[in-house]
Amino acid sequence: MNTPFRTVALIGKRKNPEVAEPLLRLARFLEERGIAILLDRFTAAHVGETRYTVLALEDIGRQADLAVVLGGDGTMLNIARTFAPYDVPLVGVNQGRLGFLTDVSVENMLETIGAMLDGRYVTDSRMLLAAEIFNDGESLFDVLAFNDAVVAKGLKGSMIEFDVHLDGEFLYTQRSDGLIVATPTGSTAYALSSGGPILHPSLDLLALVPICSHTLSSRPLVVSADSVVEVVLHEAGGAHAHFDSHSHFDLRNHDRVVVRRCPHKIRLLHPAGYDYFHMLREKLRWSEVL
């Protein structure tokens, strides 16, 4: 078989009993095509399969030619961040609700992935964010984000106050429930529900989207992906930062959250004929007659 994908990692959504059957079915299909299978430790333990090679995710990143993620967008977000430094292309099989990133159906999984192994696929390159939190010059936390970096109010429910700087230049002071810094991928997630624009994933842009700002004239702002965004907390009030809803950090007064483009990119592989706008129409129900 002539395919660049000789070693394929299969990664399932954690704590989801429904992932075992399709994952093992896909593993057998790939084996029949002479492809080596890798499982991460959590997936192997969950599906009860031990005859395949089991590795930590970082080791899979070093060895896999392709990773197939069975789950929802949340699972894909987490795996994408982990595999970003290794440039492993990703295919998503949707077992979640929306499936913006996981666009292969379980029902057509074998046929679709078989065609992709034969070279019939579309490559989609997506940007990542690198975020770091400082206080008094000391780095406290750093993380990658695929969707967004968010500074948000805490459990007290009161607004927070912060300054925003863009490339070292003061932009504004804001009192609000927070601020979302979103990639084009993340523009259809939290940023969209907060009134932000949809950015096509081929664009190198960032969206700065206020969350329930006290000033009604505070609107979403689109800037270059090469911009460095800095949020400085004045009244944290129990605020926290979260990244793709996977990583979290409790913020204090004078903390600085610095967000910039990550040098690594994510490569998503879609079935042949993939159309981003068709996906939006389907997922956002734009063409439904009410």
The tally of CA atoms less than 13 A away on the side-chain side of residue 230 is: 15
Kindly state whether residues 92 and 214 are assigned to the same domain: no
Q: Has residue 269 been placed in a domain?
A: no
Kindly state whether residues 19 and 92 are assigned to the same domain: yes
Comparing CA positions, the residue from 215, 217, 134, 231 lying closest to residue 181 is 231
Between the alpha carbon of residue 158 and those of residues 155, 214, 290, the distances in Å are: 8, 11, 38
Between the alpha carbon of residue 5 and those of residues 35, 167, 267, the distances in Å are: 8, 41, 14
Q: What is the CATH number of the domain that holds 106?
A: 3.40.50.10330
Q: Has residue 228 been placed in a domain?
A: yes
Q: Has residue 278 been placed in a domain?
A: no
pLDDT in tens, the chain (290 residues): 578 899 999 999 887 878 899 999 999 999 999 999 999 998 998 888 678 999 999 999 999 999 999 998 999 999 999 999 999 999 999 986 778 999 899 999 999 999 999 999 999 999 999 999 999 999 999 999 999 999 999 887 789 999 999 999 999 999 999 999 999 999 999 999 999 999 999 999 999 999 999 888 889 999 999 999 999 999 888 899 999 988 999 999 999 999 999 999 999 999 999 999 999 998 888 877 65
Kindly state whether residues 194 and 215 are assigned to the same domain: yes
Is 73 noted as a catalytic residue in this protein? yes
Which residue range forms the structural domain that includes residue 67?
Answer: 7-119
Please tell me the predicted confidence (pLDDT) of residue 143. Answer: 97
Name the DSSP letter for residue 265: E
- Contact between 72 and 102 (Cβ < 8 Å): yes
Kindly state whether residues 77 and 114 are assigned to the same domain: yes
Kindly state whether residues 26 and 72 are assigned to the same domain: yes
Q: What is the CATH number of the domain that holds 234?
A: 2.60.200.30
Kindly state whether residues 152 and 83 are assigned to the same domain: no
Per-position DSSP letters for 15-75, written without gaps between them: T-GGGHHHHHHHHHHHHHTT-EEEEEHHHHHHHT--SSEEE-HHHHHHH-SEEEEEE-HHH
Kindly state whether residues 52 and 143 are assigned to the same domain: no
What's the number of domains the chain is made of? 2
Kindly state whether residues 95 and 208 are assigned to the same domain: no
Kindly state whether residues 244 and 205 are assigned to the same domain: yes
pTM beyond 0.85: yes
Please tell me the predicted confidence (pLDDT) of residue 90. Answer: 98
Comparing CA positions, the residue from 278, 100, 117, 266 lying closest to residue 190 is 100
Active-site entry in 40, 73, 124, 148: 73
Kindly state whether residues 103 and 133 are assigned to the same domain: no
Name the DSSP letter for residue 80: H
Kindly state whether residues 83 and 109 are assigned to the same domain: yes
